[in-house]
Structure 1
Amino acid sequence: MKFTLNSFTPYDLRAKLGEQLNPEVAYAIGRAYALTQKAKKVCVGGDIRLSSEELKNALARGLAEAGCEVLDLGLTGTEEIYFATVHYKLDGGIQVTASHNPINYNGMKFVGPNSIPIGMANGLQDIKESAEQYLNHPSENLSGTQIAAIRSESCLAEYIQHILKFISLDKLHPMRLLMNAGNGAAGHIIDAIEKEFQNKNVPVEFIKINNEPDGKFPKGIPNPLLHSCRAETSQAVIDNNCDLGIAWDGDCDRCFFFDNKGDFIEGYFIVGLLAEAFLKHDPNQTILQDPRLTWNTIDIVNENGGQCFKSKTGHAFIKKDMRERDAVYGGEMSAHHYFRDFFYCDSGMIPWLLIIELLSSKEADLHELLHQRIALFPNPGELNFTISHKDEAIKSIEQYFRDQGDALIIEYFDGLNIEFKDWRFSLRCSNTEPLVRLNIETRANQGLLKNKLALIQSLLDKWI
């Protein structure tokens, strides 16, 4: 029976450890990457999961035995792979990570030259098929291919210098930050930035918790998008009288914010703040956002003289759209933030640097700053409904509001988006689960939000 690698997604590999991902599979993927991408030199790195080192080594061996020189960066956050690929002018990079997936999972993220993501549409399908071919016929050899070198390398110092160029260190005001690395891959980067701040007498103090990498994840897999993962950071902000709290996911390509009262800040409002941070420097810039919640970001961009456009969610879409529009920044409410001057890639470190610079320039605390914005555009956060017939349910909602006749906009753009004068909502199907995701917001009207949310919930309940 033919063996099939069925754990590839449209953009990466996520798999339960075992048959679908083990050192043999990692070796085959490395071999396939080198052959299909015609890569001569790539970098590899891995997160802190207990399986990552063994998988990374097998991946590197597969690359090398297919004639591709390998720079092994060791323990890395995903964005360090993005940086190294460009810094060393490589043919690509691969990060071994499962991000926020359960502890018995791992995976890989792939980029090509200039850290352009490799997905099914531009090479990942070829890698998958080539790896399957080898796994089904492992006796096939690479006659005449010279085994390339694998060598350890680090560009941490250069990476730190690059991301610090996004702000002016001399403009930072005294501040105390709570940093929760979640025992993931963020700790060594936090330490390096702290050392740089100290060397340059930057008046920002770091209070660090769970900073040591630990693949056993004693506090659980770090994923602050989950309510259950927020309490420790929130309490630590309060206990240490911090101005801001920041927590990261496992491979630290996403960061999450807590204000000075310990309140978690929805990613939607961080997108608006980051848009403002760029437009304060240059108002003639383009900002991209996902279509789920939009009014706050549009309002801030308009106030600051920029241009705002929607992009489909998912890094492949937003990175492509950013390149085409020359956008300086693109943000998703899921806490993925993309930057033109970081090769259009997402970073979990650049956002908090920009936020502390913005707070310094405004001489305001984060709770005060965001309380005003949240009151202007209240929303309950993304809500999920378990529905088997997802498309039919969404079509029925569309028809209901068409029949009402008072919608200003009814369109499909990465889901159903319906807009009225004082409220709007988005309904999207999950790509991987029987879920319909609802986002809804109003213009400064909590009562209307409550009423319209109840209406849509009642319409969706018929399909549950």
Structure 2
Amino acid sequence: MTTEDNFPVDLSTSFKAYDVRGIVGQSITASSVKAVGAAFVDVLGLEGQNVLVGGDMRPSSPEFSAAFAEGASGRGANVQLLGLISTDELYFASGALKAAGVVFTASHNPAEYNGMKMTKPGAVPLSSETGLTEIRDLAQSYLANGIPADKTVGSIGTADVLKDYSQYLRSLVDLSASRPLKIVVDAGNGMAGMTTPAVLGSALLPGLPFEIVPLYFELDGTFPNHPANPLEPANLVDLQAAVVKHGADIGLAFDGDADRCFVIDELGAPVSPSAVTALVARREIARAKKGGEEHPTVIHNLITSRAVPELIEHDGGRAVRTRVGHSFIKATMAAEGAVFGGEHSAHYYFRDFFNADTGMLAAMHVLAALGEQDGPLSDLGREYEPYASSGEINSQLADVPAAVARVREAYTREDVVVDELDGVTFTAKDGSWWFNLRASNTEPFLRLNAEAVDAVTMADLRDAVLELVRR
């Protein structure tokens, strides 16, 4: 396919706070990508250094990879084309090879989108506060005035990191002694269709005691079966049915670029990302303490279940609460030397994975925990989900500040603690409930997350807050 344009592209429409996403042929084109590749090298000072370039299965990714490579090599970088990769493969390669890089992906967005996730050497994230804005502005200048040709042109070669990535993940979690497990994996026609056979199967490495039942492993960036966004319950229906049909022990669902993983138990019920965070935290704390750390640090964002910090403290770890968003988690991971971090959105971050997020490594921890004991995943999951949660509920509003003000007026009282780390969080002093309201940065939405000691209390709280919000 061609994504070339005959019109000026305004990069501010596709550059977001943490990455780049736009509609192919409109807000992201081959010529704009070439300009970004050149600016990437110039802003980060990568002349003479290696730059890694790969992409997911979207139809435009190969052309965009080639365009970025042309722009980057034209400014003196030596490009290694990695071909088809997941986002966490880029993070692995960037960390292991200490090279800056980019992966072309729009994650869970629809087929007409593509974008870029970029890293500095060592898988250090790029955001609007750490270079992304400067890259955008310089690329915009290059689009208007042309890319300078005053550098020695770098080389363009190829590399394949899938086997090294798979071996590295297996070195972090030993699954060879697991009891036999039947696993249904829904790749959503995304990159997990390639990484799952490599990491959990026998495509590149010796087989593990797993029977993998594949759902939608064909790489197809048009997403013919369902959107590759497991955060939406409708996109889990096929996996839930397949787990029950095949009598499987567990189901795994990945998003399009395979950096997020959702878990389904043997009954077809979702295991909350908070429960996964708590489960993985327990394992990583134990491993760190075995290595001599007294109080290993685990990061969690403020809308994960309160069971997460409770378990971390119970197991002798130190819980650090942070804002929602991967740049905040990654920055706090690095600053605190944290062993692990988890988010409600099913992003999981590991110190041993260059402080980057990887859905596959989180899935491996869940498989290891399940494979080490005889009980079903539903029993294991209940251990980590003692509270009732509303999930995230969006309200589209004409006046978000007015809605928040109504809730503040109702809940600013002696028996409630209020804090404003990210949006506004209201917590009952007796510990019976909490809820958070956060305004979306990009849409006219107010997001509610609520949790309570039981389902009745949670439902009453949820309904009371929504009545105020939507009045």
TM range (shorter): over 0.9
Once structures 1 and 2 are overlaid, which stretch shifts more, 347-356 or 184-193?
Answer: 184-193
Of residues 447, 458, 461 in structure 2, which corresponds to 1:449? 458
Q: How far did 1:197 drift?
A: 9.0
Look up the match of 2:116: 108
Q: How far did 1:81 drift?
A: 0.8
| Residue 38, structure 1, aligned to residue 45, structure 2 | yes
TM-score by length of 1: 0.94
| Residue 417, structure 1, aligned to residue 425, structure 2 | yes
Runs (5+) with no aligned partner, structure 1:
none
Instruction: Give the AA of the match of 2:141.
Output: Q
Q: How do 1:31-430 and structure 2 match up within 5 A?
A: 31-39=38-46, 40-90=49-99, 92-138=100-146, 140-143=147-150, 145-196=151-202, 200=206, 202-283=208-289, 284-374=295-385, 376-402=386-412, 404-407=413-416, 409-420=417-428, 421=430, 422-430=432-440
Cα RMSD, aligned residues only: 1.7
Look up the match of 1:436: 446
Look up the match of 2:3: none
Provide, for residues 86-122 of structure 1, a one-character-per-residue CA deviation record: whole Å limited to 9, x for no partner.
22222x1001110111111110011001111111111
Cα distance in 1, alignment partners of residues 22 and 204 from structure 2 = 41
Once structures 1 and 2 are overlaid, which stretch shifts more, 11-20 or 123-132?
Answer: 11-20
Q: How far did 1:280 drift?
A: 3.3
Instruction: Give the AA of the match of 2:310.
Output: D
Cα distance in 2, alignment partners of residues 248 and 432 from structure 1 = 24
Provide, for residues 247-302 of structure 1, a one-character-per-residue CA deviation record: whole Å limited to 9, x for no partner.
11100000111001111222122111111221233453111101013311022212
Task: Flag the 1:2–1:192 CA change in 2: closer, same or farther, 3 A.
Answer: closer
Cα distance in 1, alignment partners of residues 210 and 203 from structure 2 = 7
Cα distance in 1, alignment partners of residues 440 and 278 from structure 2 = 25
CA contact (8 A) 1:329 1:339 kept: yes
Provide, for residues 178-223 of structure 1, a one-character-per-residue CA deviation record: whole Å limited to 9, x for no partner.
1111111112211112445996453221111211211222113211
Identity %: 31
Instruction: Give the AA of the match of 2:399.
Output: H
Instruction: Give the AA of the match of 2:427.
Output: E
Cα distance in 2, alignment partners of residues 353 and 415 from structure 1 = 33
Provide, for residues 15-36 of structure 1, a one-character-per-residue CA deviation record: whole Å limited to 9, x for no partner.
1122321101111110111111
Q: How far did 1:2 drift?
A: 8.0
Equivalent residue of 2:10, what SS? coil
Provide, for residues 119-168 of structure 1, a one-character-per-residue CA deviation record: whole Å limited to 9, x for no partner.
11111111101110011112x5322x222111110122111111112212
CA contact (8 A) 2:169 2:199 kept: no
Cα distance in 2, alignment partners of residues 419 and 22 from structure 1 = 47
Runs (5+) with no aligned partner, structure 2:
1-6, 290-294
CA contact (8 A) 2:102 2:119 kept: yes
CA contact (8 A) 2:39 2:135 kept: yes
